[in-house]
Amino acid sequence: MPSEKAFVFSVLLITNTKLMNTEALKTSLRDNPFTRWAMLLTVGFVLAANYYFYDALSPLKSTLTKEFGFTSTDFGLFVSVYSIPNVFFLMAVMGGIILDKLGIRRTGFMFIAFMTLGALVTAYGASDMYRNNGLGYAFMSSFMPGYSPELKMMLLGRFLFGLGAETSIVVISKIIVKWFKGKELALAFGVKLGLARTGSFLAFNLSPILIEAEAGWTVATWFAAFFVTSALLVFLIYMMFDLKLDRQVEHGGLLSKSEEFQFSDLTKLLMNRSFIYVTLLCLTFYSAVFPFLSFSADFFLNKFGMSIKESGFISSLLPVGTMIFTPLFGFFVDKYGKAASLMIYGSLILVTVHLIFAFTGLTPYVMMVILGVAFSLVPAAMWPSVAKMVDETRIGSAYGFMFSVQNLGLWAFPILAGVVLDGTNPEGTSQLDYTYTMLMFACLGVFGLLFALLLKREDKVSGYGLELPSNSK
């Protein structure tokens, strides 16, 4: 009898231990809400640094003219060179493929390192150290005399920065999916975008303050570069947690053979009319926003006679607006749908605001907040809509492709804005007239509106259900 009892006891013990082990296997780091959200904050910091650096010199266009003799076209060139690797070498698409092959840690580190190198080279190109015949100055002076050696070094820096920055956004999107899939994914995406835009908000407000530093105006560029460098260090912390999570789950986020990117995926995407319309909307809408934002502080400074600080502050109202409205509209799209309609409204608002900027002297404070509503409506509806059109395993390639097409606009339109400005204002004019530049942005908005309308019409045929709530598809 006692031996029977002992047998039952040991069976119970073994079963219980087995159950406990299975339970331990089931829970991983991502199941702990604190760790999950801490990871979001960690990669959000990297994104904020990325957006900070992208915008850090935008409020300082007049300073660059004063210090280095930059024309509006030079400034446009500087903004746009960010996009060259993504347009001409399809870096965002390649980055997505590399990501699927090498995984998050190696790809993330490599591309954030490129961002850091680019940021440091840009700051160096603007520094006194370089201008006093520092390393590379003689070389940069030896060709294309029409462009200053400062501009050339800064262009090289921004090129390297762009090479890393867009792919790192794709990597971070994948990190969010890795930690939040099946949990609070939509909210996490909204918060991620909010953190990124905090970087832009800070850039427009901090750069004008930092140029007044005792050590000279280049404190603003060095600060931006060190912010990006600190992001690389913060990413190392993320990598440790990522490794730990991979040891807890089976496949470590790497794709199986059947899930890997195939070029036939791209052809399939290109045959999908809804995807084409949303990509063209992405190109035209974002081209009317980001390049405008890069010139906006200088526009306010010239049109309303504001200081660098005030014009930077007004520009920062756009990212602030999006930080509040994007999660709200994201929630609306999840719950009630109407994504295609929201993209139409967003495009309509964008055109109206640009026309008001072109032809009236209405206060820019309110207009920038309204523009923030437009810049929340479209992204909040656009990115989740793509997820309805393409298979989940192809979402990285789809976003990568959209980024590359979008970057065509982020490359061309800052240059065009500068060329239009230089072409429509006599040389040496003290107050730039932005009317034609604003009209150009309004026209882009009209194209965006057209593609949004086509997208809604196509949705009735394709049946992707863009007008339906998230969980009904």
Ligand X SMILES: NCCCC[C@H](NC(=O)[C@@H](N)CCCCN)C(=O)O
Closer CB to ligand X, 279 or 406, in the complex? 406
Binding to ligand X (CB under 6 A): which residues in 367-386?
379, 383
Q: Give 140 or 170: the residue with its C-beta nearer to ligand X.
A: 170
Which two three-digit tokens encode residue 140?
A: 């940069």
Cβ closer to ligand X: 148 or 406?
406
Q: Tell me which amino acid residue 330 is.
A: G
Report long-range pairs for 425-432 (Cβ below 8 Å, ≥24 apart): 425/72, 431/302, 431/305, 432/72, 432/298, 432/302
Q: Which stretch binds ligand X (CB under 6 A): 65-73, 127-135, 351-359, 398-406?
A: 398-406
Total number of residues that touch ligand X (CB under 6 A): 14
Residue with tokens 């049946």, as numbered in its chain: 463
Q: How far is the CB of 362 from ligand X (least distance, A)?
A: 26
**Nearest residue to ligand X, by Cβ distance, number only:** 54
What's the closest the beta carbon of residue 383 comes to ligand X, in angstroms? 5
Q: How far is the CB of 318 from ligand X (least distance, A)?
A: 11
x/- mask, ligand X, residues 271-290, rule CB under 6 A, reads: ---------------x---x
Q: In sequence order, what DSSP letters do the residues of 6-73 get, joined into one string?
A: HHHHHHHHHHHHHHHHHHHHH--GGGSHHHHHHHHHHHHHHHHHHHHHHHTTGGGHHHHHHHH---HH
Q: Where are the alpha helices (DSSP H) in 216-363?
A: 219-248, 263-271, 273-303, 308-336, 339-359
Q: Which is nearer to ligand X, 42 or 322 (CB)?
A: 322
Point out which span in 6-14, 201-209, 399-407, 421-429 binds ligand X (CB under 6 A): 399-407
CB-wise, 221 or 406, nearer to ligand X? Answer: 406
DSSP 8-class letter at 214: T
Residue for token pair 């009319």:
273
At closest approach, how far in Å is the CB of 317 from ligand X? 16
For the chain, the first-to-last Cα distance in angstroms comes to 60
**Long-range residue pairs from 286-290, CB within 8 A, at least 24 positions apart, any chain:** 286/406, 286/409, 286/410, 287/406, 287/409, 287/410, 287/412, 287/413, 287/444, 288/350, 288/354, 288/413, 288/441, 288/442, 288/444, 288/445, 288/448, 289/350, 289/371, 289/375, 290/410
Q: Determine, following the binding rule CB under 6 A, whether residue 51 of this chain makes contact with ligand X.
A: yes
**Taking CB under 6 A as the rule, does residue 293 contact ligand X?**
no
Smallest separation, CB 172 to ligand X (Å): 9
The correct pick among 159, 285, 357, 399 for binding ligand X (CB under 6 A) is 399
Q: If you ran DSSP here, which 8-state letter would residue 256 be given?
A: P
23 CB neighbour count, 10 Å cutoff: 9
- Main-chain dihedrals φ then ψ at residue 364, nearest 5 degrees: -75, -15
One character per residue 163-202, x = contact with ligand X (rule: CB under 6 A): ---x--x---x-------------------x--x------
| Ordered DSSP codes for 265-285 | HHHHHHH-HHHHHHHHHHHHH
Minimum separation from the CB atom of position 106 to ligand X (A): 21
Least Å distance, CB 215 to ligand X, is 27
Q: Which is nearer to ligand X, 159 or 399 (CB)?
A: 399
Residue with smaller CB distance to ligand X, 148 or 207: 207
State in angstroms the smallest separation of the CB of 292 from ligand X: 12
Of 29 and 410, the one with the shorter C-beta distance to ligand X is: 410
The SS3 assignment for 319 reads helix
Q: Which is nearer to ligand X, 173 or 302 (CB)?
A: 173
Q: Residue 191 has which token pair?
A: 């918060």
Q: Which of residues 401-420 bind ligand X (CB under 6 A)?
A: 403, 406
Q: Which residue lies nearer to ligand X by CB, 83 or 425?
A: 83
* Nearer to ligand X among residue 186 and residue 255 (C-beta): 186
User: Which residues fall within 8 angstroms of residue 222, CB to CB, at 6 or more apart?
Assistant: 123, 127
Element (H, E) at 439: helix 435-462
Cβ 192 to ligand X shortest distance, Å: 8
Count other C-beta atoms under 10 Å from residue 90's C-beta.
17
Minimum CB separation from ligand X for residue 123, in Å? 18
Query: Nearest distance from residue 225's CB to ligand X, in Å?
Result: 16
Cα–Cα distances (Å) from 68 to 126, 128, 152, in that order, read: 9, 12, 11
Which of 29, 46, 52, 54 binds ligand X (CB under 6 A)? It is 54
Q: Which residues bind ligand X (CB under 6 A)?
A: 51, 54, 166, 169, 173, 193, 196, 286, 290, 379, 383, 399, 403, 406
